[in-house]
Structure 1
Amino acid sequence: MRTDKFMKDLKISKKKPSYPISDRLNKYLTEYNRNSKITILYDDLLRFQGAITVYDKDDIDTLWVRVYFSEFDREEIDLSLKKVYSRLHSDGNVTANAYLNIDAIDYCTFGNSKPFRVKIRNIINDNYTYFYVKKADASRIYGLELEQMLSPYQLNFMVHGNTLIEEHIAGIPGDEFIKNNLPDCSEREKSQIAKEFVKFNERCMIRLLGDMRAYNYVIVPTHDFDHVVFKIRAIDFDQQCYEGKFKVYRPQFFKENLKLVQLVAKKFTQESIDQYKIEERSIVAKRMISYNDRIAQLLDCMVNDEISNTGNIELLKSKIYDHTLDLEFKKSKNMGEILKNALNFVKRNYEDMNTQDF
């Protein structure tokens, strides 16, 4: 992995427009049980009366503000959010609502989606979790669905009109982990993290998920017998198939990830890096085969949708052609076709390898 000037020069669009959900995508979401009737919409939460800044344990501004509502609105909003939680995590049965409490509603003005973060607590056992209320953006929904099918992780979300409800993805934010946890990791753990970063980098590139700077993914430690296993998981899907710069889809080129890139260079030879890339491509190809019909339907939605601009499309297909020398990319007319050709490229290579004699 390179640690050259491209890490300093790489920039993405300051503001990505929000794209509406097409009729075709809406039908897809209904078929796969992602559409759900809910009693509160994103715009309803914008009726807050005021807000206070949320600071972390070190008194640093988190860029979130805690909002508050009028007494009349708060009662209605709390009840609706409890119903949303029940639909998201259960069968929608409201009998448990009496034991739930909405502890906080936070709003973030940083980034494209401007989400609300809802903290909900079980008052009997004091366990709590979060979920997010966001504007429904077609790019993000495509990103969530591709994460569900092409990554090792399951995602729980639902859509209603212009509102997207997402479950919280638990983990240590990448920037915090790199700063506070990575220096204390053992050499064995650092090697394992480096391996995961190579695989994460490859997976993002294959499915064209952009802007994986350190604060847009989490690192999830899991204790396994006598050691800790680290996984890297994306948490922001706004930049799915939008940017024209190919490097935006490769986390290794963001300066925020420099320490992980340096770790990879320190721990692995190029042969090992190539091995882990091949492993990840094979895993993605296997997932494509297992989700064959569903991913074909999603790609059909993308091919018939507008989720980027002409300049980005022309630049990206040119850059990927330079990377692969596959003429299919030059024929691509939109981002959906570029992604479809990228996934087919990976799938063909996997199938060709599996037809060779041992």
Structure 2
Amino acid sequence: MFEITSDNLQHLRPSRKKPFFPLNDRLHEYLVKHGREGKLPASYKDLLRFVYSRPLKDKNGRDTLWETVSYDSHEWEYLRESLVKLYAILKTEGDLSFVDHLDVARVDFCSFGNSQPFRIRIVNKLNDNYDHYYIKPADASRVYGLELEHLLSPDRITYLIHHETLVEEHIAGIPGDIFLQQHLQNPEFNPIRLAKEFVKFNERSFVRLLGDMRSYNFIVNVTPDIEDIQYRIRAIDFDQQSYEGRKNLYLPQFFKENYSFVQLAQQYLDKNSIAQYQTEERTMMAFRLVSARYRVKELLDIMHDDTISKPAKIHELREELAAHFKQPAYMRCNTMGQMVKTHLKQTLRKSLLLIPKTKSRFAD
């Protein structure tokens, strides 16, 4: 599973510019029903009215690819108040009783990312503690990705939609590329546990068809344990949910940016251990699927007829997955939503059948 050639690494590149896909009426209704959509005091377009920007450097003086933006005074007074209220809506469902001691410390913009996000830094004026959240254009691919992350991953995620604006919480952790640069030589570093977690993350991404999980699109959380430390890898970019046509673009192991993670798995894990961790992850995903089966079904029924990719990519992916699993059911998929549903059945069927008293239609 983790055997990689230089040819794979050289030619595996996601699409440079993925188009945005609008949210359809059924998806909006789903989001309203599940508390994901409502009126917000600021929009993505409001933030685009900045008048000046300057490059943002990290603490070592290196370029971060982000720019700190400024607004004229009249615009800023309205925007500052709206962004603080938006933070309250995201974190406390609109409880404004504490906003007087909150302020906007900085607004950053990234033109490098596909979604060209704004990052808002909120600071507590009483103790200088700060938090972040993001404002982006709403895109159906990303919304499906966020929902599938919330329902099928080990982690819950908070986000809100209003018309063409998407607001996401900040997912704290060490970016994967930074972790590789700065933490592999740490004397407390446990390569076996990180290799195990990468295998599970690789499996999780593939099962739900989340693409482009290069090291800077996921983070690593480090948690002290009884006598050691544990790792958790979390996706932080969901633009490439079920968009690409090549199967290997949904497997993080095939990106050259992740090669150090793959080397750890090859060095410290044998085939039986890798197979065990893959089965463990699929089993846990099956339990989550059964637990949220009605909401997952509702989401996939909407996704079933939605357009979130190009016909050529859909045809390419269904052919590769059909050949990989020797399963002709993929060839009947005409949308990426149909592909995700078929793929969940294919990859989780064995685990679903082992769950006692499961009546999930996904196991049929």
TM-score (norm 2): 0.95
- Aligned residue number for residue 264 of structure 2: 263
- Aligned residue number for residue 341 of structure 2: 340
Matched position secondary structure for 1:75: helix
Mapped to 2, the partners of 1:61 and 1:181 lie a distance apart of: 20
Deviation at 1:11, TM superposition (A): 0.9
Counterpart AA for 2:158: N
Aligned residue-pair number: 354
2:105 aligns with one of 103, 108, 114: 103
Unaligned runs of 5+ in 2: 357-364
Q: Work out whether residues 199 and 277 of structure 1, in 8 Å CA contact, stay in contact via their aligned partners in 2.
A: yes
- Aligned residue number for residue 290 of structure 1: 291
Mapped to 2, the partners of 1:50 and 1:312 lie a distance apart of: 39
- Aligned residue number for residue 52 of structure 1: 54
Counterpart AA for 1:205: F
Deviation at 1:264, TM superposition (A): 0.2
Counterpart AA for 2:286: A
For residues 38-90 of structure 1, give each alpha carbon's deviation from its aligned partner in whole angstroms, at most 9, with x where no partner exists.
11100000000010000112211100000000000000000000110010000
2:152 aligns with one of 139, 150, 153: 150
Deviation at 1:95, TM superposition (A): 2.5
Mapped to 1, the partners of 2:172 and 2:355 lie a distance apart of: 36
Deviation at 1:12, TM superposition (A): 1.1
Deviation at 1:225, TM superposition (A): 3.0
Mapped to 1, the partners of 2:167 and 2:240 lie a distance apart of: 18
Matched position secondary structure for 1:184: coil
Deviation at 1:351, TM superposition (A): 3.3
- Aligned residue number for residue 177 of structure 2: 175
Q: Which runs of at least 4 in structure 1 moved beyond 4 Å after TM superposition?
A: none
Counterpart AA for 2:224: H
- Aligned residue number for residue 277 of structure 1: 278
Matched position secondary structure for 2:183: helix
Q: 1:185 to 1:275 in 2, by over 3 A?
A: farther
Counterpart AA for 2:48: L
Mapped to 2, the partners of 1:275 and 1:202 lie a distance apart of: 11
Mapped to 2, the partners of 1:351 and 1:149 lie a distance apart of: 16
Mapped to 1, the partners of 2:59 and 2:319 lie a distance apart of: 46
- Aligned residue number for residue 360 of structure 2: none
Mapped to 2, the partners of 1:275 and 1:183 lie a distance apart of: 27
1:140-219 equivalence runs, <5 A: 140-186=142-188, 189-219=190-220
Matched position secondary structure for 1:94: coil
Q: Work out whether residues 21 and 138 of structure 1, in 8 Å CA contact, stay in contact via their aligned partners in 2.
A: yes
Mapped to 2, the partners of 1:290 and 1:325 lie a distance apart of: 29
- Aligned residue number for residue 31 of structure 2: 29
- Aligned residue number for residue 39 of structure 1: 41
Mapped to 2, the partners of 1:73 and 1:354 lie a distance apart of: 56
Q: 1:116 to 1:336 in 2, by over 3 A?
A: same
Q: Work out whether residues 36 and 160 of structure 2, in 8 Å CA contact, stay in contact via their aligned partners in 1.
A: yes
Mapped to 1, the partners of 2:354 and 2:33 lie a distance apart of: 34
Unaligned runs of 5+ in 1: none
Mapped to 2, the partners of 1:309 and 1:260 lie a distance apart of: 31
Deviation at 1:242, TM superposition (A): 0.1
Mapped to 1, the partners of 2:354 and 2:298 lie a distance apart of: 26
| Identity percentage of aligned residues | 42
More divergent stretch after superposition (238-247 vs 119-128): 119-128
Task: Report the RMSD for the aligned CA atoms in angstroms.
Answer: 1.1
- Aligned residue number for residue 321 of structure 1: 322
- Aligned residue number for residue 305 of structure 1: 306
TM-score (norm 1): 0.97
Mapped to 2, the partners of 1:127 and 1:159 lie a distance apart of: 26
Counterpart AA for 2:186: D
- State yes or no: 1:126 paired with 2:128: yes
Counterpart AA for 2:198: F
- Aligned residue number for residue 349 of structure 1: 350
- Aligned residue number for residue 10 of structure 1: 12
Mapped to 2, the partners of 1:95 and 1:350 lie a distance apart of: 47
Deviation at 1:3, TM superposition (A): 2.7
Mapped to 1, the partners of 2:78 and 2:355 lie a distance apart of: 58
For residues 189-229 of structure 1, give each alpha carbon's deviation from its aligned partner in whole angstroms, at most 9, with x where no partner exists.
11000000000000000000000000000000111233211
Deviation at 1:186, TM superposition (A): 4.4
